[in-house]
Structure 1
């Protein structure tokens, strides 16, 4: 006996599956959109080879965020750089801008109000710096947030107004080693 396909039931089934698939994608995307994050930026005067968009931001081995953008400072602050002297322009023109998003849930001590700027400013004054660090021997790097001696790694003012919270950069271990070897 031959069974005839019921095209109406098949159509309803296909539409329900598509609807559930679309609803799932929207739910996953919405979770990403409503995540509570703080945007930080730093300016690095060394190669960032191995650091990429999506690389983790770690503090003492705990992931607190991800790298969201890597570009040169003139791409973001070009008009403001154009107003500088030639020597200042040459200095800041080579800086790499790294933008990171930090999850508030990973740092519960951060306030949820306008005090965030003060807490970050105070942390920077106490030596909070960002540096690139290797993830083993693979050549992949992550952005590390840690406290360093503020006398050894002083706050570096920039001649433009940062669009996000600014945390100064500390040279990577490899760069520090290379600079020490050059001095010898």
Structure 2
């Protein structure tokens, strides 16, 4: 093999390896290497049981993206634990009124303005059979925005889910006192009925 042929063979091998590497990166990245999709972080106070990676993110029923990561972060200073949920907003979910796409920076600006207007995220039951949840985006202008990350421009505040709200309401009810009062009423009613039967006899 001549020197020129050897160099050509090595060059072709290296070029082929670089091409395969690039294709692998793109495939492992889900084809999103050159996309304008933006990731946002959500912090839920309650349980995220039923929410899984790949769960849909919707805005008033319109698909917007999906959940990409669910983590558990412990704070050693106060022994507090938070659960950041990462979602990816699909670049194709936003289009201009003219029908053309938008850039990543413009998408972030739209989300930022929507958050200022009251855009919030909450968990919503997706299926009663499987118990799976999805992330629902909608406007809750009366809900204050509490940011917990160091990048608030890439965070969407959250509100409690309907189930969390119901659980908190039930927790505040004096159930033990209510049960005791009901027992007293039933006991009084039972005695009254017994006295009436004795008088009739």
Same fold (TM over 0.5): yes
Give the deviation of 1:63 after TM superposition.
Answer: 1.3
Cα distance in 1 for residues equivalent to 2:39 and 2:104: 15
Cα distance in 1 for residues equivalent to 2:35 and 2:57: 16
The answer (yes or no) to whether the contact 1:67–1:100 under 8 Å persists in 2 is: yes
Given candidates 69, 77, 91, the residue that maps to 1:104 is 91
Provide structure 1 residue ranges, at least 5 long, that are not aligned to the other structure: 1-21, 83-88
Tell me, what secondary structure is at the counterpart of 2:65? strand
Give the deviation of 1:163 after TM superposition.
Answer: 8.1
Provide structure 2 residue ranges, at least 5 long, that are not aligned to the other structure: 1-19, 174-201
Instruction: Give the TM-score taking structure 2 as reference length.
Output: 0.62
Report whether the alignment pairs 1:156 with 2:146. Answer: yes
Give the deviation of 1:127 after TM superposition.
Answer: 1.0
Structure with more contact order per residue of length (Cα contacts < 8 Å, sep ≥ 6): 1
Q: Name 1:6's counterpart in structure 2.
A: none
Deviations 1:50-80 (A, max 9, x none): 1011111111112110101101234xxx6xx
The answer (yes or no) to whether the contact 1:45–1:94 under 8 Å persists in 2 is: no
Could you say if the C-alpha distance between residues 62 and 113 of structure 1 is closer, same or farther in structure 2, counting changes exceeding 3 Å?
closer
Q: Name 1:127's counterpart in structure 2.
A: 118
Deviations 1:120-168 (A, max 9, x none): 22211211011111112021111111111x32x211132x513871000
Q: Name 1:10's counterpart in structure 2.
A: none
Cα distance in 1 for residues equivalent to 2:118 and 2:82: 21
The structure with the largest alpha-carbon Rg is: 2
Cα distance in 2 for residues equivalent to 1:141 and 1:59: 14
Could you say if the C-alpha distance between residues 164 and 50 of structure 1 is closer, same or farther in structure 2, counting changes exceeding 3 Å?
farther
Could you say if the C-alpha distance between residues 125 and 73 of structure 1 is closer, same or farther in structure 2, counting changes exceeding 3 Å?
farther
Tell me, what secondary structure is at the counterpart of 1:94? strand
